[in-house]
Amino acid sequence: MIYRVREVFHPELLTDLLRARGLITEETQTRFLEPDFTRDSHDPFLLPDMEKAVERIKHALVRGEKIAVWSDYDCDGIPGGVMLVEFLRSIGLEVRHYIPHRHAEGYGLNENGLAQLAREGISLVITVDLGISDVEPVLFAKEKNIEIIITDHHLVSGSLPEAYAIINPKRPDSTYPFDSLCGAGVAWKLVQGMLRGERFGIAEGQEKWLLDLVGLATLSDMVPLVGENRMLAHYGLLVMKRGRRPGIAALMSLLRIRASTLTEDDIGFMIAPRINAASRMDAPETAAHLLATKDAEEARELAQTLQRLNDKRKGAVATTVKEVNKRLLSGAIESPIIIMGNPRWRPGVLGLVANSLVAVHRKPVFLWGREGGTMVRGSCRSDGSLNVVALMSAARDVFDDFGGHYASGGFSVSQERVHELSGRLQSAYEEMRTSPTPLPDTIVERELPLHEITHAHRIVKQLAPFGQGNPKPLFLFPRVSIAGARTFGKAKDHLALTLSADTDQVSGIAFFSTPNSFTKPARVGERFDVVGHIETDWRGGVRVRVVDLL
């Protein structure tokens, strides 16, 4: 890894960090530091088909139709689906929440599920976080006299489905000024559209209590945390801290997360994985029930169930890692890239498996399993030596679909062509290795003496929540000694350090790391330049999230 300290910076840290994010004027800096619900919410009717969708839902209300919300099974679709169902029921509609089974049905709309809804007398389906590519299922729904309103945020590729309405800020004809909403964020705009001209007995501003679910999804779905997303994440965290939703409160209590110090890291590393574990382990409804329940005792029981499912998910990851390592040991040929699959493997856990393998083997990893019929789906991770999306692009014709970014991605392959995958990727890798792409530098904001960390922490917190589009500032702490080091966790796969400089001591932490995970091994008594982020620990204090030791 190549680290480069920014050479031009303002002596005042807050101003410096804002300017590094392209926020130069006082107005843009103020808008960033002080998200405002009214100012930062764009007009929902700038989204395509919003007016049609609103009128169709009002028509369903007048006629007493039974409708369904069909949401994705991840930590964007489930909170978004629960949010929309809660709102629609509050205005008097009879609503069924349908979540497809990750392994039996796969992603998106499907004919079996739509046929079931038709048998139940449902005449309108509203999607959350899916549908933009479901051309055939939408035609099937028409045959069953079901009209479809699609709310989605994924890229449009090919022809649009013949749905009644398609609300998606990424539509080519969209005039909406912000195209990076998550799926739940798009569904939220539908709620705002419904309430624009009529309140349905809902007090002004009461709908803001739904932002805990929108914020949860926004912080979980890796969308840029700028503009409207930053506002939704900000207010979502505020609502979650109030503890009004029993399910989220129960999960936070179980995980020993203090509401007053709740951060985006708590969402990303603690809460979201447990929501996602439900579908990975065949029980997406459990997560939906947790988020929807109004009963505190039921919430506690559901939180315990999610914790058990997450433990089971960890077991599935560990078993798959063990199987991959066994197959690697038995292989006669040493390969610079790991490409492996098994129809029995759960695609939903393979990204986590790949992360573990990359950490140990220091190679790019591509893994596949089977999900929802005959389609093979997989995940890939880079060791930092190459762009996995560029690699897949070089072998693009073997894939049905692929996407991601430099370090990680996902793909799908037909069962008939999965045998070609290894050879095609190996060939593409060899071609890329002969003309390597230079690795991007990792930008360090500035050097920071360890004794300034408490003051810097107060400044850094003003820029939260962090995520894509607003990364955590990275600092270099010069000439720091390691006064203590220990591994912790059930598998002893996390590292806690005591960092010392002169008379100052600060705790450091590196998850899924050992003393040998850095450029220089972490040895007690030795001195290093420490690269890391400043963050809040579980007690509300300050610590360093260690990225590297130089």
Strands 66-71 and 94-98 turn out to be parallel
Q: So what's the pLDDT on residue 441?
A: 74
Q: So what's the pLDDT on residue 107?
A: 80
What predicted TM-score, i.e. pTM, was given to this entire model? 0.89
Q: So what's the pLDDT on residue 158?
A: 80
Instruction: List C-alpha distances in Å: 520 to 24, 81, 445.
Output: 37, 47, 21
Q: Please answer whether residues 117 and 68 qualify as being in contact, where contact means their C-beta atoms are separated by less than 8 angstroms.
A: yes
For the chain, which residues score pLDDT lower than 70?
A: 1, 7-9, 332-333, 371-373, 435-440
Q: Please answer whether residues 314 and 273 qualify as being in contact, where contact means their C-beta atoms are separated by less than 8 angstroms.
A: no
Strand partners, 475: 446, 532
Q: Which residues of 448-486 are buried (b: 16+ CB within 10 A; e: fewer)?
A: bebebbeebbebbeebbbbbeebebbbbbbeebbbeebe
Question: For 44, what's the count of Cα atoms within 13 Å in the CB-facing half-sphere?
Answer: 21
Q: So what's the pLDDT on residue 545?
A: 95
Q: What is the CATH number of domain 39-242?
A: 3.90.1640.30
Q: So what's the pLDDT on residue 491?
A: 75
Where do the H-state alpha helices sit in 333-466?
A: 347-361, 388-394, 421-434, 453-461
Q: Please answer whether residues 407 and 391 qualify as being in contact, where contact means their C-beta atoms are separated by less than 8 angstroms.
A: no
* Residues 157, 340, 72, 253, Cα dihedral to 10°: -140
Strand partners, 494: 488
Longest C-alpha distance within the chain, in Å? 75
Residue 374 CB contacts under 8 Å (≥ 6 apart), including other chains: 414, 415
Beta strands in 55-208 (DSSP E): 66-71, 94-98, 122-128, 147-151, 165-167
CA gap 365, 58 in Å, rounded: 49
Q: At which residue do the structure tokens 């990975």 appear?
A: 280
Rg of the Cα atoms in the chain:
24
3-state secondary structure of 427: helix
Q: So what's the pLDDT on residue 103?
A: 76
3-state secondary structure of 409: strand
Domain range annotation of the chain = 3-31+442-549, 39-242, 250-314, 333-434
115, exposed or middle or buried, with CB in 10 Å at 0-12, 13-18, 19+? middle
Q: So what's the pLDDT on residue 433?
A: 77
Q: How far is CA 257 from the centre of its chain?
A: 19
CA gap 208, 206 in Å, rounded: 5
Closest CA relative to residue 112, chosen from 153, 159, 70, 152: 70
The helix/strand count (H/E) of the chain reads as 19, 18
The tokens for 186 are: 């798009």
Q: What is the CATH number of domain 333-434?
A: 3.10.310.30
pLDDT in tens, 344-382: 898 888 988 998 898 888 899 999 998 666 778 899 999
Q: What is the CATH number of domain 3-31+442-549?
A: 2.40.50.460
